[in-house]
Structure 1
Amino acid sequence: MNLADCYRVLELPEGASLAQVKSAYRRLARRYHPDVNPGDRSAHDKFILLQQAYEKLTRVLPTFQPAPKATAPEPAPASPITAFEIELKHASYRQLQEFLKYRCYGRALTLVEGLASRLPQDAEVRQWQAVTYQCWARQLIRDRQPQTARDYLHRALKADPDNRSLWQEAEKDFRTLDRLYGKAPST
């Protein structure tokens, strides 16, 4: 299910806020819940779709909002990680912010790739990985390393393929590369 489908299932316009998504989910879940509609297979199927759409949007939407500066974001509710891993994740997020702030991209890449290997199913970690790859790609564009920049932009899109904002920014970066260095050779 893509993001447009998620909004459609929740009867929302594309680009609705996280608060709107939560409100629509609660309203529709009350309407289609199996306990309210015992024996109604279509209501049961609709309820499952609602849950899937809600889970996907609540994983993706926080990426479109600025991250809080004082505290690390809470882990996604669907990811069963230990208390140690939660603490590791929070500490890593704070460290990653510092590395990116001071453009220590080598350290940021090492940190985020290590965290991604430790928590491969965590959507937030994949988002951080994608952002780090994109930041590094932009530095490579400034350093006149177009092919390596393209490679890291592709890695960013692969790390977080459902992030529309990332795709839009990456498209701008690819256009910049094309304008400055010409089209990438076909492989």
Structure 2
Amino acid sequence: MNLLHCYEILGLRVDAELSTIKSSYRRLARQYHPDTNGGDRQAQERFIQINKAYKILLQTYPELYRDQVAADHKSSSVKGVLPRLSAHEHRLKWDSYRTLQQCLRQERYARAIALTEALACRLPDDAEVRQWQSIIYLTWGSQLLRKGHQLQARTYLRKAFLADPHNRKLRQRIEYVMANIMVPAV
């Protein structure tokens, strides 16, 4: 399969950029995927051709592909990709996690918050740490709400949202809890 044929399979011009190649591939792969086309043999063969063409085109642009993957990795770290940790950082993270669980069982929220904030400073790109931090804020905010401290609860619920804004389930839970807060007029 030559390069010109690869571009034709993906429905692209020869001067297409990598982002265009990727979007065309994704669109066609969804269209011809065997799961969406049942037992259609032609669709399955077309899907295989699309995959081969895409792989060949990516190999012809290795430096562009590497740059794009690096850029995708940076942007996806916001979405939840775990960064590489040294052995020391990994041990620190999981020791902190065990301590965090213990703090939650004992309802020592101030210590849990301090621990997750320190861990978030140490590992700012770690999605799990951000998630832990937002869960702690949500738990403490809910606890404050049950005790009748609406203003403080609102502050911690907002912190929970800001700690992990891309976590849809957590955001829904925060919105549910926030809807129950009745802040009196000052």
Query: What corresponds to 1:33 in structure 2?
Result: 55
Deviations 1:12-62 (A, max 9, x none): xxxxxxxxxxxxxxx9977633556636xxxx6xx85xx66x9569727xx
TM superposition shift of 1:106: 1.1
Secondary structure of 1:33's aligned partner = helix
Any conservation in 2 of the 1:147–1:184 contact (CA below 8 Å)?
A: no
Residue identity matched to 2:173: E
TM superposition shift of 1:183: 6.8
TM superposition shift of 1:97: 1.2
Query: What corresponds to 1:15 in structure 2?
Result: none
Query: What corresponds to 2:121 in structure 1?
Result: 117
Residue identity matched to 1:158: L
TM superposition shift of 1:158: 0.6
Query: What corresponds to 2:146 in structure 1?
Result: 142
Any conservation in 1 of the 2:161–2:171 contact (CA below 8 Å)?
A: yes
Q: 1:58 to 1:167 in 2, by over 3 A?
A: closer
Secondary structure of 1:125's aligned partner = helix
Give matches, 1:45-124, under 5 Å.
Answer: 55=76, 59=80, 76=82, 79-124=83-128
Any conservation in 1 of the 2:151–2:183 contact (CA below 8 Å)?
A: no
Any conservation in 2 of the 1:109–1:133 contact (CA below 8 Å)?
A: yes
Question: What residue ranges of structure 1 are gaps of 5+ in the alignment?
Answer: 1-7, 12-26, 61-75
Richer in helix (by share): 2
Query: What corresponds to 2:134 in structure 1?
Result: 130
What's the RMSD between the two structures over aligned residues?
A: 3.9
Any conservation in 2 of the 1:105–1:136 contact (CA below 8 Å)?
A: yes
Question: What residue ranges of structure 2 are gaps of 5+ in the alignment?
Answer: 1-25, 31-47
Match of 1:167 among 157, 166, 171: 171
Residue identity matched to 1:121: D
Measure, in 2, the Cα distance between the counterparts of 1:30 and 1:115: 43
Q: 1:101 to 1:31 in 2, by over 3 A?
A: farther
TM-score by length of 2: 0.61
Q: Figure out how many residues of one structure are paired with residues of the other and give that number.
A: 141
TM-score by length of 1: 0.60
Measure, in 1, the Cα distance between the counterparts of 2:185 and 2:96: 34
TM superposition shift of 1:114: 1.1
Measure, in 2, the Cα distance between the counterparts of 1:34 and 1:174: 51
Residue identity matched to 2:60: P
Measure, in 1, the Cα distance between the counterparts of 2:137 and 2:60: 48
Give matches, 1:174-185, under 5 Å.
Answer: 174-177=178-181, 181-182=182-183
TM superposition shift of 1:81: 2.3
Query: What corresponds to 1:16 in structure 2?
Result: none
Larger Rg over CA atoms: 2
Measure, in 2, the Cα distance between the counterparts of 1:145 and 1:124: 28
